[in-house]
Amino acid sequence: MISSDLDRDRIPGHIACVMDGNGRWAQQRGLPRTEGHTAGEQALFEVLDGADQLGVRWFTVYAFSTENWRRPVDEVQFLLRFNEEILLNRQEELHERNIRIRFIGRQDRRVPRRLVRRMREAAELTKDNTGLTFTIAFNYGGRSEIVDAVQRIVDSGVRRVSEKTIARHLYDPEMPDPDLVIRTSGEYRVSNFLLWEIAYSELVFSETLWPDFRKEHLYAAIKEYQDRDRRYGGVGEADGDPGTLG
């Protein structure tokens, strides 16, 4: 699969990725699970680069879920440090490429202050960039996001709630709903990712483990997306995105 096989007029505006299979990738090689996370960094930046080259405007990745705290403490510690290092090592390069970095998720007490600071720095550094928006979902849960939105709506004293009210109180109200969600490693579930936002996303599942995922796999997923007919509850392509109601 090469990028010229794709219809350039139908590139998804927002692609979201559940980067899964790092642990199994490592285990298959007799390595500790953490080696799989390390190997996943190359996949992430290749796929980000591929998406950027195709003109994708929003690219979101699931880096750490609210459920991932259940993992052994060593792995959790590793992931916290690893994400911090990625930010330190990559933010300048991303900034030079005009990429805007954003975060979604709960910044609760479990997330080390230093990592929170790094996230804020990266977002601040790149906030005026006009290229692709790269959103990292960290300590993110789709249910927590909805709960947090509802809590803020209640706190604001609003009495009449519509879909727009909820959408405006999500972690990043500017983030459009994903057109395409890719999950790797042959798992067919959503695992609490972007629950509100994926109501009408196309879901593509890949058997490839995340550390092996490359641009060609991204192109294949986009091809599968382009072969779908997005009906939005209507009867054909022409019906179009219903957007958020009321």
Name which position in 43, 44, 48, 64 contacts ligand IPE (CB under 6 A). 64
- For Mg ion, which stretch binds (CB under 5 A), given 20-28, 31-39, 140-148, 157-165? 20-28
* Structure-derived torsion over alpha carbons of residues 104, 110, 115, 117, reported in degrees to the nearest 10: 80
Q: Which of ligand IPE, Mg ion, none has residue 191 at its interface (CB below 5 to 8 Å by kind)?
A: ligand IPE
Site for ligand IPE in 83-122 (CB under 6 A): none
Residue type, 117: R
- Residue 187 interacts with ligand IPE (CB under 6 A): yes or no: yes
* 13: number of Cβ within 10 Å: 13
Q: How far apart are CA 20 and CA 35, in angstroms?
A: 14
Identify which of residues 81 and 127 has a Cβ nearer to ligand IPE in the complex.
Answer: 81
Residue 193 contacts residue 201 (beta carbons within 8 Å): no
- Rg (C-alpha) for the chain, rounded Å, is 18
- Residue 19 interacts with ligand IPE (CB under 6 A): yes or no: yes
Identify which of residues 11 and 51 has a Cβ nearer to ligand IPE in the complex.
Answer: 51
Shortest reach from residue 86's CB to Mg ion, in Å = 18
Catalytic residue among 68, 148, 172, 192: 68
Phi then psi for residue 171, to 5 deg, are: -55, -40
Residues 6+ apart with CB under 8 A from 207: 184, 185, 186
**Applying CB under 6 A, which residues contact ligand IPE?**
18-24, 62-65, 67-68, 79, 185, 187, 189, 191
Catalytic residues: 20, 68
